[in-house]
Structure 1
Amino acid sequence: MKTKTDTNNTARAIVLVGFDGAAALDITGPLEVFAAACHLSHADDPPYRLVLLADQPGVFRTASGVGLVADSSWRDFRGYPDTILIAGGPDISPLLNNRELLLWLARLKGHTRRIGSVCTGAFALAAAGLLENRRATTHWVEAERLQQKHPSVAVSPDAIYVKDGDIYTSAGVTAGMDLALAMVEEDLGREVALAVARMLVLYLKRPGGQSQFSTVLQAQATEGKRLAPLLAWLAENYHQALTVEQLAARAAMTPRTFARVFLAEVGLPPAQYLERIRTEHAVRLLETIGISLDVAARECGFTGCEQLRRAFLRCLGITPQDYRERFRSAGTAAKGD
């Protein structure tokens, strides 16, 4: 089995499996990462051979309507790839209803160095029995459903990607590129992976987790419910000094009823939701080079830098200082390239 210390006389076969209705970025995102690694590795022979498989060779339609061309059917693929990634999509029934495909995936175990999924492709790995008693992730919207449907899987709903032995899973859509970058780093080393990240204007290791993208989207799911007007107002007034009692009064509820309804409709306690909204806005402010932490904190409704720091650590697992430095370094590298 080849590792990054092996002589690379044979390109590693990286196989993406698509299907009618797959998310195009689940496929093209990782492929671009591996293709960039081939371009930047400066090896005599390309380190990767990229293959796109589907149920049948030829054009298949992604969820966006864009057609992609499969090199072959997975039925006709000979041998064992080095790495296989299963794409996801809004409707993954073409994968889950294809027992022959699931059996083929199960047979790859032990013969293929890495088996992985992007986004909801994790459901296919689980259906093939490959996630049993393993840690995994998927799109944050589907994490609870994956856990309920496959209780033996330890689902990490906030992870960008998870590696458990030879099984890899990533979060939603663009997180497949994060996973591919991690694989490039495993194979070719940090220097090549960093060069790929710079070329594609990506973080080598993205700070934070899926929660940094999901708070306002979660709120949008409450449209038509009791708290929809309040959440719309809160999206514009998060910077004010607000208490749960004030929010309850605005919703015409007692604080006790408000807390219960808020948790039921939004999935978070009111104070935690408000902290996440403020943190997300602070993230955007810190991406404006030159703004001070104190200004960012007060602009977003925090009392000061210390409260901002605690919120960042709780929500993103990183301090605001470290986040700003990472963003500044990535931005400088991108401009330099």
Structure 2
Amino acid sequence: MVSIEQGNRRHGHATKKRIAILVYENCSFVEVALIVETFDLANLAATTEYGQAPHYSISLLSSRGGRVQCSNAISMDTHPLDASSSSGYDALFIAGGEGAAAAAHDSRNTDWLKRVFQTVRVVQAAGNGTLLLKGADLPNARGMIIPIRPSGKQHSQAPSNDVVIDVNAGSPVITALSLIKSDFDYETAESIAERLMPFSGRWLEPLLGDPPNANVASTIKEATRWIEEHCARPITVDDIAQSVSMGERTFLRHFKAETGMPPSEYLLRTRLDIACRLLITTTLPIDKVARRCGMRSGTRLAKIFKRRLGISASDYRNCARADFSNT
């Protein structure tokens, strides 16, 4: 008998997103394992490439908790629903499988689903796992996703405008990849899909939606405007990437391709340009000029002027004014 250990051991660090997977006797092991593996690969990407702690905490839940026997004589260790808060989850996945009909008549499952449905941001039932939603008198169309909304917002018991039904979203793995794409970037989701399902690139884009930005040039132009507007304060590459809703790796690649330089260089040139204009058009002391263009101190400004222009900031001011008075 094979056992999947519960997420506490695997996800022992601080996390940003909580994922619940509701399982039951005779559910599909393959579906659950794929969901867990998808988010585990995202955690690996966060740790190795972004230098962050795991992004997703996965909880395997069942009516009574303990070991649950699923398909292929494989068992999973789970936590009981009555010991799990029904709030605070970012996504809920419901396993499919032969035992769904019996699980749909378990009041512990349906009562908990009614509570968690009020606050969870995304719901995805696999296959006949939708029977559990039906048993709880909740929207239960296959592929149903509740789009991202502020956590804690109450959701009506019947379908409304904030519920979309998309037959292309019937796969829990696609839903998991969509969340990862939203939290990281398209390339991260695509690379995880490729590891799980080789050669998936040919059909992945239509399912995930929003492939790499088709209008990259305008997005990067928007980023340059954001830099110019915010350069007086400390900003990071991640701040700039977030301003245009891009993952940092994707943003860095596209920014350099469009501008010929990394964002850090563009930021420095923007600050230097503002400093030059302030030196010419104002009588502000060098320290105040430096602070107004985000260079923190006159000493740092002086070093940058020497390195980039081969002249001190005060000499630049004097020369520029002399040239202006001679015209």
Task: Give the TM-score, by structure 1 length.
Answer: 0.46
Q: Which has the larger radius of gyration?
A: 2
Task: Give the TM-score, by structure 2 length.
Answer: 0.47
Q: Which has the higher contact order (CA 8 A, sep 6+)?
A: 1
